[in-house]
């Protein structure tokens, strides 16, 4: 993996690198001066004290653009270092810098130019080398170039690793933010479903009873008292249920939620609807006890069907059927006949069936609702009911 985009250097980071390159060239400069003939530096070898430092200064200046033009600067400094022993440190820094890109062709080209150019120093300065020392003269520049390349490659690999870790951390943070947003949305939907399921049914029954009081003038005193008592009891129960929901929202996360209604509370639900004035019959042929999720979903289907019947079919007969066995499916249907009286329609939220469909989908079931030919309405649901006890016996 290449690291074409190197991190931007600050002023201090740039300064200490250039100072280190200059300091690295000083030993080479002194060793060259020691190898010159006595008196050469002040006489015929004036380049050593004038041109050599100037070329080194130019190389160090060129290194300021090594990250913008890495190959061009590295080549130029490697060639210029042949005319300046003090610029050897700058050449090694340029070679190290281009090695961080980890491009073998570029590294090999610059290293070859650096080793070859180092031999031109013998042409500029009258240094006598012993016979057979050509390999030694090539080995020292090659060794220094190899060290610079190794350091540069290691730095480049480290940069790639750090960048990869940073990208992983940013990706994990984005995923965590997305999961948190999804969790908040799911929690809001759950709260909305619970608020609707808990309150809509109770308020609809209260509204139905109030509508009867408003439209029927021929009720006896006892019937009026029954309806008024039903409105008061329904309002009180609605407040209690709202308090329970809000209590769950404000409770500590570690505290268990109160038990949710299940299949065994359906007769109680039907009895409350009858007490509120609905004409309801219940037929059940369920054998066994389904899971809490399936039982609670079945309860909510019947609750929504009774709520809609109370809202839109005043005086209608409602027939509820629940049937199923373990290992098959649980079928529930709520059918109401057409309305027999006309009452003021309570405001509709429009989210009852939508929230019910979400519940049933989460439980792995299907929901269907449509008007019937006789003018009534039919709400049906099929919920999976796996036989966990039978599966456990087979595994045993």
Per-residue pLDDT band for 395 (boundaries 50, 70, 90) equals: very low
Residues whose CB falls within 8 Å of the CB of residue 228, separated by 6 or more in sequence, listed in order: 213
More confident residue, 84 or 195: 84
Copy the structure tokens of residue 158: 């480290």
Per-residue pLDDT band for 244 (boundaries 50, 70, 90) equals: low
Residues whose CB falls within 8 Å of the CB of residue 193, separated by 6 or more in sequence, listed in order: 355, 358, 359
Distance of CA 334 to the CA centre of its chain: 41
Identify which of 70, 60, 51 has the alpha carbon closest to the alpha carbon of residue 14. 60
| pLDDT value of residue 2 | 45
Angle of helix 201-215 versus helix 221-250 axis, rounded to 10: 160
Per-residue pLDDT band for 67 (boundaries 50, 70, 90) equals: confident
Q: Check whether 366 has a pLDDT greater than 60.
A: yes
Identify which of 327, 207, 322 has the alpha carbon closest to the alpha carbon of residue 276. 207
For the CA atoms of 257, 263, 264, 269, what is the dihedral angle to 10 degrees? 90
Question: What stretch(es) of the chain map to CATH 3.30.565.10?
Answer: 178-395
Q: Check whether 396 has a pLDDT greater than 60.
A: no
Output phi, psi for 373, to 5 deg: -60, -30
Q: How many CB atoms lie within 10 A of CB 326?
A: 17
Mean pLDDT of 369-378: 90
Span 178-395: which CATH code? 3.30.565.10
Mean pLDDT of 224-245: 72
């Amino acid at each position: 993996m290449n690291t074409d985009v190197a991190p931007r250097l600050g002023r201090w980071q740039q300064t200490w690198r250039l100072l280190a390159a200059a300091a690295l060239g000083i030993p080479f400069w002194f060793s060259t001066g020691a190898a010159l003939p006595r008196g050469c530096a002040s006489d015929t070898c004036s380049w050593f004290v004038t041109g050599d430092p100037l070329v080194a200064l130019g190389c160090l200046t060129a290194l300021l653009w090594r990250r913008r033009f890495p190959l061009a600067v590295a080549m130029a400094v490697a060639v210029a270092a042949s005319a300046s022993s003090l610029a050897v440190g700058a050449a090694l820094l340029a070679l190290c810098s281009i090695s961080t890109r980890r491009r073998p062709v570029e590294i090999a080209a610059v290293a070859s130019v650096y080793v070859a150019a180092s031999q031109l120093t013998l042409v500029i300065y009258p240094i006598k080398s012993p016979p057979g020392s050509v390999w030694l003269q090539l080995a020292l520049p090659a060794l220094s170039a190899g060290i610079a390349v190794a350091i540069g490659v290691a730095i480049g690999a480290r940069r790639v690793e750090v960048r990869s870790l940073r990208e992983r951390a940013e990706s994990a943070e984005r995923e965590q933010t997305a999961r948190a947003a999804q969790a908040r949305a799911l929690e809001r939907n759950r709260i909305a479903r619970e608020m609707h399921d808990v309150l809509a049914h109770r308020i609809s029954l209260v509204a139905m009873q109030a509508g009867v009081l408003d439209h029927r003038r021929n009720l006896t005193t006892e019937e009026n008292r029954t309806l008024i008592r039903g409105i008061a009891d329904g309002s009180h129960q609605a407040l209690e249920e709202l308090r329970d929901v809000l209590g769950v929202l404000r409770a500590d996360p570690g505290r268990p939620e109160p038990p949710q209604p299940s299949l065994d509370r359906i007769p109680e639900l039907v009895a409350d609807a009858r007490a509120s004035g609905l004409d309801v019959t219940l037929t059940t042929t369920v054998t066994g006890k389904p899971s809490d999720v399936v039982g609670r979903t079945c309860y909510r289907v019947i609750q929504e069907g009774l709520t809609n019947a109370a809202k839109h079919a005043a005086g209608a007969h409602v027939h509820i059927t629940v049937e199923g066995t373990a290992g098959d499916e649980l079928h529930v249907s709520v059918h109401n006949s057409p309305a027999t009286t006309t009452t003021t329609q309570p405001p509709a939220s429009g989210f009852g069936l939508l929230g019910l469909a979400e519940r049933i989908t989460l439980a792995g079931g299907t929901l269907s609702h449509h008007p019937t030919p006789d003018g009534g309405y039919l709400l049906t649901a099929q919920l999976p009911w796996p036989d966990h006890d039978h599966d456990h016996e087979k595994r045993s």
